[in-house]
Protein backbone atom coordinates (compact mmCIF):
# COMPACT_ATOMS: atom_id res chain seq x y z
CA UNK A 1 0.00 0.00 0.00
CA UNK A 2 1.48 3.35 -1.03
CA UNK A 3 1.52 6.26 1.38
CA UNK A 4 0.88 9.79 0.15
CA UNK A 5 1.70 13.15 1.70
CA UNK A 6 -1.92 13.95 2.58
CA UNK A 7 -2.12 10.86 4.80
CA UNK A 8 0.79 11.93 6.99
CA UNK A 9 0.70 14.91 9.28
CA UNK A 10 3.27 14.00 11.93
CA UNK A 11 4.58 10.49 12.46
CA UNK A 12 7.91 11.32 14.02
CA UNK A 13 9.67 13.99 16.01
CA UNK A 14 13.22 15.07 16.73
CA UNK A 15 12.77 14.11 20.37
CA UNK A 16 11.61 10.59 19.56
CA UNK A 17 12.46 9.41 16.04
CA UNK A 18 10.13 6.78 14.69
CA UNK A 19 11.32 3.16 14.75
CA UNK A 20 10.86 1.39 11.40
CA UNK A 21 10.77 -2.16 10.23
CA UNK A 22 12.19 -2.74 6.76
CA UNK A 23 8.65 -3.24 5.46
CA UNK A 24 7.47 0.07 6.93
CA UNK A 25 10.50 1.90 5.52
CA UNK A 26 9.89 0.40 2.08
CA UNK A 27 6.21 1.42 2.24
CA UNK A 28 7.14 5.01 3.01
CA UNK A 29 10.07 5.13 0.60
CA UNK A 30 8.20 6.15 -2.60
CA UNK A 31 6.90 9.24 -0.79
CA UNK A 32 10.35 10.05 0.64
CA UNK A 33 11.93 9.68 -2.79
CA UNK A 34 9.26 11.80 -4.51
CA UNK A 35 9.53 14.61 -1.95
CA UNK A 36 13.31 14.53 -2.21
CA UNK A 37 13.28 14.44 -6.01
CA UNK A 38 10.93 17.43 -6.13
CA UNK A 39 13.09 19.42 -3.71
CA UNK A 40 16.24 18.50 -5.64
CA UNK A 41 14.64 19.73 -8.89
CA UNK A 42 13.61 23.00 -7.23
CA UNK A 43 17.08 23.52 -5.80
CA UNK A 44 19.11 22.86 -8.96
CA UNK A 45 18.32 26.14 -10.78
CA UNK A 46 18.85 28.10 -7.57
CA UNK A 47 22.20 26.38 -7.11
CA UNK A 48 23.22 27.24 -10.69
CA UNK A 49 22.25 30.88 -10.14
CA UNK A 50 24.41 31.00 -7.02
CA UNK A 51 27.35 29.40 -8.81
CA UNK A 52 27.15 32.02 -11.57
CA UNK A 53 26.98 35.03 -9.25
CA UNK A 54 29.89 37.08 -8.08
CA UNK A 55 30.36 37.10 -4.32
CA UNK A 56 29.71 40.85 -4.35
CA UNK A 57 26.40 40.58 -6.20
CA UNK A 58 23.72 42.20 -4.00
CA UNK A 59 21.15 39.65 -5.24
CA UNK A 60 23.15 36.82 -3.66
CA UNK A 61 21.44 37.27 -0.27
CA UNK A 62 18.00 36.79 -1.84
CA UNK A 63 19.08 33.71 -3.80
CA UNK A 64 20.76 32.21 -0.73
CA UNK A 65 17.48 32.64 1.17
CA UNK A 66 15.62 30.81 -1.63
CA UNK A 67 18.16 27.97 -1.41
CA UNK A 68 17.81 27.80 2.35
CA UNK A 69 14.00 27.80 2.16
CA UNK A 70 13.93 24.79 -0.20
CA UNK A 71 16.35 22.83 2.01
CA UNK A 72 14.49 23.69 5.23
CA UNK A 73 11.14 22.72 3.71
CA UNK A 74 12.58 19.33 2.66
CA UNK A 75 14.18 18.85 6.08
CA UNK A 76 10.90 19.55 7.92
CA UNK A 77 9.01 17.11 5.69
CA UNK A 78 11.55 14.34 6.34
CA UNK A 79 11.42 14.94 10.08
CA UNK A 80 7.60 14.90 10.05
CA UNK A 81 7.80 11.49 8.39
CA UNK A 82 9.92 10.28 11.31
CA UNK A 83 13.25 10.14 9.48
CA UNK A 84 16.66 11.21 10.73
CA UNK A 85 18.25 13.69 8.34
CA UNK A 86 22.01 13.17 8.18
CA UNK A 87 22.79 15.60 5.36
CA UNK A 88 21.41 17.10 2.20
CA UNK A 89 19.35 14.39 0.46
CA UNK A 90 20.61 11.82 3.00
CA UNK A 91 18.13 10.25 5.42
CA UNK A 92 18.09 7.35 7.84
CA UNK A 93 15.21 5.16 8.97
CA UNK A 94 15.86 4.20 12.62
CA UNK A 95 15.37 0.47 13.25
CA UNK A 96 16.11 0.54 16.98
CA UNK A 97 19.42 -1.22 16.22
CA UNK A 98 20.87 1.18 13.68
CA UNK A 99 19.78 2.86 10.50
CA UNK A 100 18.44 1.88 7.13
CA UNK A 101 20.32 4.46 5.08
CA UNK A 102 19.27 6.17 1.84
CA UNK A 103 20.83 8.93 -0.22
CA UNK A 104 19.22 10.52 -3.23
CA UNK A 105 19.25 9.47 -6.10
CA UNK A 106 19.55 5.81 -4.99
CA UNK A 107 16.62 3.79 -6.31
CA UNK A 108 15.86 1.89 -3.11
CA UNK A 109 16.82 1.50 0.54
CA UNK A 110 19.76 -0.85 0.23
CA UNK A 111 22.21 0.00 3.02
CA UNK A 112 22.43 -0.17 6.79
CA UNK A 113 24.81 1.30 9.36
CA UNK A 114 24.94 1.16 13.12
CA UNK A 115 24.49 4.21 15.33
CA UNK A 116 28.21 5.00 15.52
CA UNK A 117 29.60 4.31 12.05
CA UNK A 118 27.61 6.78 9.93
CA UNK A 119 27.42 6.97 6.14
CA UNK A 120 31.03 5.87 5.60
CA UNK A 121 30.35 2.68 7.56
CA UNK A 122 27.20 1.65 5.76
CA UNK A 123 26.98 -1.89 4.47
CA UNK A 124 24.70 -3.58 1.94
CA UNK A 125 21.39 -4.43 3.53
CA UNK A 126 21.50 -7.98 2.14
CA UNK A 127 24.74 -8.64 4.06
CA UNK A 128 23.27 -7.35 7.32
CA UNK A 129 20.11 -9.44 6.97
CA UNK A 130 22.06 -12.58 6.09
CA UNK A 131 24.60 -12.07 8.85
CA UNK A 132 22.42 -10.86 11.73
CA UNK A 133 18.83 -11.83 10.84
CA UNK A 134 17.50 -8.73 12.66
CA UNK A 135 13.94 -8.53 13.97
CA UNK A 136 13.23 -5.40 11.90
CA UNK A 137 13.94 -7.23 8.63
Q: What is the pLDDT of residues 59-73, one digit of tens each?
A: 999 999 999 999 999
- The mean pLDDT value for 74-83 works out to 96
Per-residue pLDDT tens over the stretch 21-59:
999 999 999 999 999 999 999 999 999 999 999 989 999
Give me the phi and psi of 132, to 5 degrees please: -110, -20
Quick: pLDDT tens for 81-107.
Answer: 999 999 999 999 999 999 999 999 999
Distance between first and last Cα of the chain: 18
Confidence of residue 6 (pLDDT cuts 50, 70, 90): very low
Q: For residue 70, what are the contacts with CB-CB under 8 A and spacing of at least 6? A: 39, 42, 43, 46
Domain ranges of the chain: 18-132
Amino acid sequence: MAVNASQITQIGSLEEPRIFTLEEANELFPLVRRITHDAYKKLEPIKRRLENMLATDPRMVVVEKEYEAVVKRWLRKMERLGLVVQGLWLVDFDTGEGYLCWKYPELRISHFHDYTSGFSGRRPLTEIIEELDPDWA
